[in-house]
Structure 1
Amino acid sequence: MSGQQQLPPGWIAQWDQNHGRYLFIDTATNHSQWEPPVHGAPMNPDSRPQTVSPGPGHGPAPTQSKRRQYAADQTQAYYGGADMAPVGPPSYMDQPIHGGGGAGSGGLFTPGLTAEAGGQPPYYAPDTPSWQNGGQSPGPAYAQPPYVGGGGPHGQPQMGALADQFSQMGMSQHGAMGQKPFGLHTTNLIGVPIDPRELLRPPPEIRLPPGACLSQNPLANADPSYMRSTINAVPTTSSLLNKSKISFGLVLTPHRSIKDGDEPVPVVTDTVIARCRRCRAYINPYVQFIDGGNRWKCCLCSMSNEVPQLFDWDQQRNQPADRWSRLELNHSAVDFVAPTEYMVRPPQPPVYVFLLDISHAAVSSGMVATATRTILESLDRLPNADNRTKVAIIAFDVALHFFSIPPGGTEASMLVVSDLDDVFLPKPTDLLINLSETRAGLEALLTKMGDMFQESHTVGSAMGPALQAGFKLCASVGAKIIVLSASLPTLGAGALKNREDNKVLGTAKESALLQAASSFYKLSAIDCVRDHISVDMFLFSPSYTDVATLNHLPHYTAGGTYFYPAFNATRSEDAIKFAHEFGEVLASPIGLEAVIRVRPSRGMRMSQYHGNVFTRSTDLLALPAVPVDQSYAIEVQIEENLNTPFVVFQCALLHTTCDGERRIRVITLALPTTNNISELYSSVDQIALITLLANKAVERSMSHKMEDAREALTNKLTDILGTYKNTMTSAGSGASAALSICDNMKMFPLLCLGLLKHVGLRQSAQIPPDLRAYAQALLGTLPSQLLIPYIHPTFYSLHNMPPECGTIGEGGVILPPPQPLTSERLERHGLFLIEDGQTIFLWVGREAVPQLMVDVFDLPSYDQLRGGKMTLPILDNPFSERVNAIIAKVREMRRGPYRPCLYVVKEDGEPPLRLWALSSLIQDRADQLPSYTQYLTQLKDKVNGSSYS
């Protein structure tokens, strides 16, 4: 042991001469464990202390300058695990979440641990809400029981010790060049308490060999928010990958939103684009310069290429430039301004065609008035930097209503087409209008439309003919068609019937309800992709609207689906949610007429694509529009043995910006190779892996049975656990009381259970097909940073949170510590918050003290509280300000347009609402679904009863 070590009271360290390392022993329980092995010869026993005096809250993690993997027969976990509790702090669940390991945070996680790194949101809000309480930590003590508390029984020194242990485990995002991968740490899942903060850990470190990268810039390898791999060490053979049972794939979010504090993607403006002559890869930080710097060697195919003449020339200053400062050699993500040879036509302008349902259901729900008002208020937010943006509005019920506005006009004329069998445009011009030239007339039209159809009692929806008309209107230029529908399409092409049948819910026939009922929408999508048209669906129907069928248009045209069941604008929460999300979609800087190609190093290929894309060829994806923060999962296949020390994946996104500039976004990810299965396991990124498996499960549930998708997920998990047990533990193929997995995958079984219990896949006869179809649409498009809380919700205890939570720290609002997802944490006098990025539940215990009810709800007692959807009042007291600050933080901290509604849930309130909220606590048993403990037992039995090779 090097350096001064400190152990908790009652622990001693003894040197084992046979094994050449220390054995730590708890004298109270007689529990013992090995220290991690070290490189090289055994430590000199003469230099060891026989006992180590305990320090305040510090665990015995030895400070090693080197590490290596555990031997195959020594897989007992050193960090984590229920039986390891005496090693570190007894608990760090009671500490508040602070940002970035800064001052006062206790340093639990490394600086730079953001939502993108670990799949969860940043800790601080970027701005300071109006309810900041002067930096104080208000916390009135309430009578029995108090609902303000400190940070639990353990203080910050323990947090710092835990941070030291984590840092020794190598929990940093990018490793130093040339270092060996960290050793494999094994965890026994049985009996180990769940810590939700594990999901905040960054992906396993990427350890590239020396000299792999030209740059020392930490941004030279892809940030996980843009591209992440399910494994951060690639096996050299397909047999090794197959043996591990790990699915190999990439999770790609090429058009990630840029928030405060994010590094924008740098832009190469000189149009000097160096590409490989053979594989067409773009020059990047992982190429090699040869022949005195006159040529460069491609890192994908090893082809030798000439360096462009102007590569070392500053065209703006007309003088030689420093090659090593070029952006593309220092950044993994860059935007190239594309020259004319990358264009087949002038850059497409932003075009928005609104198809607006004006049937009685749409008008009476307030959807029409809310939609038109939101469009009106968003006109200044629409991308229109070069004044080329165009807009059209087509209303539909049993007929099509076109609106014509001449340039400079202030009044719109309405033209009605009732022929739905042969759709035509009633006027050749002035239907698709320039936003800048017809602004006054468009504003007048939108102002009137909210009341224009108030007296309409028409029942029926000609959505299909409206889509045909919108397509004809913009086919020559490309567009984003936005459909706002409040009823099932019943007239003309694409008419649908109500096929909702409660008898088939929960049976093998349920998957048929998740498949398209009409080929019209898929065929229309193919036409739209050809002409660069993307479709977004906003669906509001209070009854069945066949989301599964209508989602085919967004799915194949790179659009999005948004569902608002039982929408009623008279409820302010409904109107605010829709207006916010609709406005964010309109204002987002989408990419236009785009294609994506992902190129791997020689010996690998992209085998399968998942997400809202159209696969034009085996390696080319077509996206009429590239929405912000939409994710795509790609499966990778190893076809030949990999003989290089590292491999490279490069994504190229050719698109037109909203400002009319043709650009190529290039994202490069380099990963080391390995022929060691232990290194492969220790490199698994559980967040990326569950994202890939969620996409595969959704597609399987639609093409096969729902049960097949659930079984495939559990079988994949069982295969991984069984293979790990057989190859990485001393138990081998025999029975074992433990259920072992590598430390970096310890949350993976819980994420799988969360996916099995999710609305999109759950075994239930009570889930309406529209809700299930919409949930599956989200599972297949959300980026990892949104997907993880969607399947593993976040659970906060508010009544006893530390006093600094809900106040402003160095970087924004401080959140409470997340709790395990079990009802055991619920208290009858408590106030709890559960959220999954789409919904927020505020759970109120039946014995909540009157003062809490006054401070949060402005009500004298619990009996006066009504459950359901509501907006929490902002009251003039510190606790109300803190709770509202946390809710506001939860709503804005994640990427994407979504604004979750808040539901107040009383412990003895309406059973459906209570069950909905409790279904988020995925560690509990629910109906036929097991608890997490029961699930692990089932997995252990399967692993012990199966044979793996």
Structure 2
Amino acid sequence: MVRPPQPAVYVILIDVSHTAVQSGMVATATRTILENLDRIPNDDERTKVAIIAYDTSLYFFSMPPGTTESTMLVVSDVDDVFLPKPTDLLVNLTEARQSLESLLGRINDMFQDNHTIGSAIGPALQAGFKLMAPIGGKIIVLSSSLPNIGAGALKNREDLKVLGTSKESGLLQAASPFYKTFAIECSRAQVSVDMFLFSAAYQDVASLACLPHYTSGQTYFYPAFNAARSEDAIKFAHEFGEVLAMPIMLEAVMRVRASKGLRMASFHGNFFVRSTDLLAMPTVPTDQSYAIEIQIEDTLTQPFVVLQTAVLHTTCQGERRIRVITLALPTTSSLSEVFASADQVAIATLLANKAVERSLTHKLEDARDAVHQRLVEILSSYKSSMTSAGAGANAQLAISENLKMLPVLVLGLLKNVGIRQSAQIPPDLRAYAQALLTSLPSQTLIPYIHPTFYSLHNMPPEAGTVGEQGVILPTPLPLTSERLERHGLYLIEDGQTIFLWIGRDAVPRLVMDVFNLPNYEVLRGGKTTLPVLDNEFSQRVNAIIQKTREMRRGVYYPHLYVVKEDGEPPLRLWALSCLIQDRADVLPSYQQFIGQLKDKVNGANNY
């Protein structure tokens, strides 16, 4: 140990510019912190907290322990950031509890009439870093607009003419080197950064998401956030509260070792690779995914190989620990055993990471081609080595039972907002989708690329009631709009958003039972909260939505949208884009996709 185990440290940077206050973000954020003070990990009573507000200046709050007082100190020179006071800015959560509570109750009022427009995120980050650099910990940034003052200032580079062209990937790369350089400095000092982004206009998610990416943090995105819509306030308060309460590992490093002949070749995920194979993670959240590619360098002669992952970390209770996971895998010279033991979920997770990485170093089109090619290679090698009907252009596509979902998972990935071919996707939404594709654990990533689709109007009587395993869910349908009936009610969800699709011929009784409205005509589409009504059907539908929200790992609280069959086109298209087996725009249907694969696989053998 270089030093005693560090305490947990949280520095929260709150945007208090005019936009942030007007959207209700500041009031929601301060109330959420106040409500979650008891949930912040603090068993050993060493946890430290600081609050810094910023617009085009920085506002520090001094909270002397044992009082209910706090004073605001303003630093308006953002080009040369300094701490206005040596003590009482980063305070012990237990000792300064009273002054912290009274401060959180007042911040929104202090800035209620703030007309300043502009954002000095870079300087605010530098200030937060100066406060905690000797210890390390987590910086949580809440930001409502594009940073345009001081270090890390960005310009609006959203150019609609570039979307859908080969230049589009430029918009997904960081625009300023500040964020990566600062992130690496953070990593060295054991500081990780979480980003909460709320802008209604372009915010350059691609540049800002660099910070969480290299410091093992996470990015959360609330486009056009408005707390006056209760759904927006509830989603943000839930997710922010979960992030504050999350048990985290501190000052962690991870390494994967393996038997002779194997080498860790490349690493994917939110961390910084220090030296060749040491992954530095200043704080480790509970739900993230990491993918590591292994190269076989020598002929393996042993009957099995061993992989060992070790994470050296400090718990948030101040104990230094090593967590070790050891995995022994048999070796084989039989290709059929290799195919039969392949894991389609792991393959899809790795391909998602590789696709995003390639779209940043090359072009989006290259990323899609590379994923497609990888699938063709898997199918071709299976065909040539495992099937007797090797020849012939009409041979069926063959693959082992455990990989039969791989083509549809790959199709879902190719149709995901993060990499799909389209000239309509704003760069911020694309960059956020890419952040999800590279950080969601497989249990959450798979529904994100292969959504779930239920029919509710004719579900079996037990669906939506409580069984031995909790709420019973209906049987999922294939992801195609052929299954939509005009009188029906359907649920489509991808772990980030839930759609309730209602057909134009839905009977008044159904509309009454679920929405408490007389008929389809008066029902409005859009973001909503379903009423819980005094009838069995309403209670079952609500139970299914509730269960859907609970069963997805992580802090996410998906919005619920009502989508009318003849409602607003953008909302309808968004919901239908989850039905990945359909044809959409330039993207093939599942049948067409399988046809293309078949041609490639059969064609490959005929040359």
Same fold per superposition (TM over 0.5): yes
Q: Would you say the 8 A contact 1:698–1:780 is kept in 2?
A: yes
1:451 is paired with a residue whose SS is helix
Q: Spell out structure 1 runs of 4+ moving beyond 3 A.
A: none
Counterparts of 2:190 and 2:332, CA distance in 1? 42
Residue 505 of structure 1 pairs with residue 158 of structure 2: no
Matched residues in 1 for 2:122 and 2:438: separation? 25
1:910 is aligned to 2:568: yes
* Same amino acid, percent of matched pairs: 74
Q: Deviation digits for residues 894-929 of structure 1, max 9, x if unmatched?
A: 210000000000001011100000000000000000
Equivalences for residues 340-379 of structure 1 within 5 A = 343-379=1-37
Correspondences of 1:650-669 after superposition (within 5 Å): 650-669=308-327
Which residue does the alignment assign to 1:621? 279
Correspondence for 1:792? 450
Correspondence list, 1:43-82, <5 A: none
Q: How far, CA to CA, are the matches of 2:37 and 2:318 in structure 1?
A: 18
Alignment-derived partner of residue 238 in structure 2: 580
Match of 1:856 in 2: 514
Give the corresponding residue for 1:17.
none
Q: Work out the CA distance in 2 between the residues paired with 1:731 and 1:502.
A: 49
Partner of 2:553: 895
Q: Tell me the secondary structure at the aligned position of residue 368 of structure 1.
A: helix
Structure-to-structure mapping, 1:437-586, within 5 angstroms: 437-586=95-244
Q: Is the 8 A contact 1:846 1:907 kept in 2?
A: yes
> What is the letter of the counterpart of residue 430 of structure 2?
R
Q: Root-mean-square deviation (CA), in Å?
A: 0.9
1:920 corresponds to: 578
What's 1:413 paired with?
71
**How many angstroms apart in 2 are the aligned matches of 1:509 and 1:606?**
32
Q: Secondary structure at the match of 1:802?
A: coil
2:372 matches 1:714: yes
Q: In the alignment, is the contact (CA less than 8 A) between 2:389 and 2:395 conserved in 1?
A: no
Distance (Å, rounded) in 2 between the aligned partners of 1:532 and 1:733: 57
For 2:391 and 2:253, the matched residues in 1 are separated by 48
The alpha carbon displacement at 1:737 in A equals: 3.1
**Which residue number in structure 2 is paired with residue 190 of structure 1?**
none
Q: Could you say what secondary structure the match of 1:940 adopts?
A: helix
Answer yes or no: is the 8 Å Cα contact 2:15–2:55 preserved in 1: yes
Residue identity opposite 1:750 in structure 2: V
2:288 alignment counterpart: 630
Task: Compute the displacement of 1:947 (Å).
Answer: 3.5
Following superposition, the deviation at residue 720 of structure 1 comes to 1.2
1:729 aligns with 2:387: yes
Residues 591 and 948 (structure 1), Cα distance of their counterparts in 2 relative to 1, 3 Å cut: farther
Partner of 1:763: 421
The Cα offsets for residues 135-192 of structure 1, whole Å up to 9 and x where unpaired, read as xxxxxxxxxxxxxxxxxxxxxxxxxxxxxxxxxxxxxxxxxxxxxxxxxxxxxxxxxx
User: What is the 5 A alignment of 1:156-195?
Assistant: none
CA distance, structure 1, for counterparts of residue 179 and residue 222 of structure 2: 21
Structure 1 spans left out of the alignment, 5+ residues: 1-342
CA offsets 1:83-130 (integer angstroms, 9 cap, x no match):
xxxxxxxxxxxxxxxxxxxxxxxxxxxxxxxxxxxxxxxxxxxxxxxx
Aligned-pair CA distance for 1:946: 1.4
**Larger-Rg structure:** 1
Match of 2:411 in 1: 753
User: 1:815 maps to what in 2?
Assistant: 473
Amino acid at match of 1:739: L
1:886 aligns with 2:544: yes
CA–CA distance in structure 1, aligned partners of residues 469 and 386 of structure 2 = 42
Question: Match of 1:914, as an amino acid?
Answer: R
Match of 1:837 in 2: 495
* CA distance in 2: counterparts of 1:932 and 1:602, whole angstroms: 42
Q: CA separation in 2, counterparts of 1:376 and 1:424? A: 27
1:670 to 328, 333, 340: 328
Secondary structure at 1:902 match in 2: strand
Distance 1:697 1:432 in 2: 41
CA distances 1:813-833 after superposition (whole Å, capped 9, x unpaired): 100111100001111111100
Unaligned runs of 5+ in 2: none
How far apart are the structure 2 equivalents of 1:457 and 1:691? 45
Is the Cα contact below 8 Å between 1:352 and 1:479 reproduced in 2? yes
Provide the C-alpha distance between the structure 1 equivalents of 2:431 and 2:107, rounded to a whole number of angstroms. 31
Secondary structure of residue in 2 paired with 1:634? strand
Q: Is the 8 A contact 1:590 1:658 kept in 2?
A: yes
Partner of 2:87: 429
Partner SS for 1:508: coil
Q: Which whole-Å CA distance do the structure 1 matches of 2:427 and 2:552 have between them? A: 27
Q: Tell me, in whole angstroms, the C-alpha distance in 2 between the residues paired with 1:477 and 1:937.
A: 57
In 2, Cα distance between equivalents of 1:947 and 1:486: 55
Deviation string 1:191-219 (CA, Å, 9 cap, x unpaired) is xxxxxxxxxxxxxxxxxxxxxxxxxxxxx
Select 2:533's aligned residue among 875, 881, 886. Answer: 875
User: Of the two structures, which has the highest relative contact order with CA contacts closer than 8 Å and spacing of 6 or more?
Assistant: 1
Question: How far is 1:811 from its partner?
Answer: 2.2
Cα separation, 2, equivalents of 1:462 and 1:429: 23
Q: Distance in 1 between matches of 2:532 and 2:355?
A: 42
Distance 1:948 1:588 in 2: 56
The Cα offsets for residues 780-816 of structure 1, whole Å up to 9 and x where unpaired, read as 0001000000000000110100001100101211001
Query: By how many angstroms is 1:948 displaced?
Result: 8.7
Given candidates 484, 489, 497, the residue that maps to 1:826 is 484
Kept in 1: contact 2:513–2:537 (CA 8 A): yes
Q: Which amino acid aligns with 1:691?
A: T
How many angstroms apart in 2 are the aligned matches of 1:346 and 1:761?
44
Does residue 803 (structure 1) correspond to residue 428 (structure 2)? The answer is no
Q: Tell which deviates more after alignment, 713-722 or 896-905.
A: 713-722
Distance 2:431 2:554 in 1: 20
Match for residue 268 of structure 2?
Answer: 610
Could you state the TM-score of these two structures normalised by the residue count of structure 2?
A: 0.99
Deviations 1:46-98 (A, max 9, x none): xxxxxxxxxxxxxxxxxxxxxxxxxxxxxxxxxxxxxxxxxxxxxxxxxxxxx
Which deviates further from its counterpart, 560-569 or 640-649?
A: 640-649
* Superimposed CA distance per residue, residues 297-339 of structure 1 (whole angstroms, 9 cap, x where no aligned partner): xxxxxxxxxxxxxxxxxxxxxxxxxxxxxxxxxxxxxxxxxxx
- 2:57 is the counterpart of 1:399: yes
Structure 2: which amino acid aligns with 1:491?
Answer: I
CA distance in 2, matches of 1:877, 1:451: 43
Q: Is the 8 A contact 1:647 1:671 kept in 2?
A: yes
Q: Which has the higher helix share?
A: 2
Give runs of aligned pairs for residues 40-439 of structure 1, distance below 5 A: 343-439=1-97
In 2, are the aligned partners of 1:534 and 1:554 still within 8 Å (CA)?
A: yes
CA contact (8 A) 1:813 1:886 kept: yes
- Quick one: distance in 2 between partners of 1:929 and 1:516? 28
